[in-house]
Amino acid sequence: MIGKKLFEEVSAKLSETIANSPAKDVEKNVKALLGSAFNRMDLVTREEFDIQQQVLIKTRTKLADLEARLAKLEGEQPLQQVETTAEVPEQVE
């Protein structure tokens, strides 16, 4: 019991000393300074980053699909042009 009471007294005195010490003021000032710096950096949360990463993955996938589709359509187009020119009769002057 005496040990527990002594521990509580020492703990209370240390907490009081730290609360009233210049170290506590320095800690508060550093926290405020860092908070201000982080706010100016225009940082994003991890959740916002993960959402944007998923959007980017979907966009890249869609872009790859559209590029493949375009390449396929461009590959078919010259054949259609050849067929249409073969069907047009020549004009005799």
Query: DSSP of 49-64, one letter per residue?
Result: HHHHHHHHHHHHHHHH
Q: Which residues contact 44 (CB under 8 A, 6 or more apart)?
A: 52
Predicted confidence (pLDDT) per residue in 65-80, tens digit: 999 999 999 888 765 5
CA distance 6 to 13: 11
Secondary structure (3-state) at 41: coil
Predicted confidence (pLDDT) per residue in 23-47, tens digit: 777 778 888 888 887 778 888 899 9
Angle at 12 between CA 7 and CA 4, to 5 degrees: 20
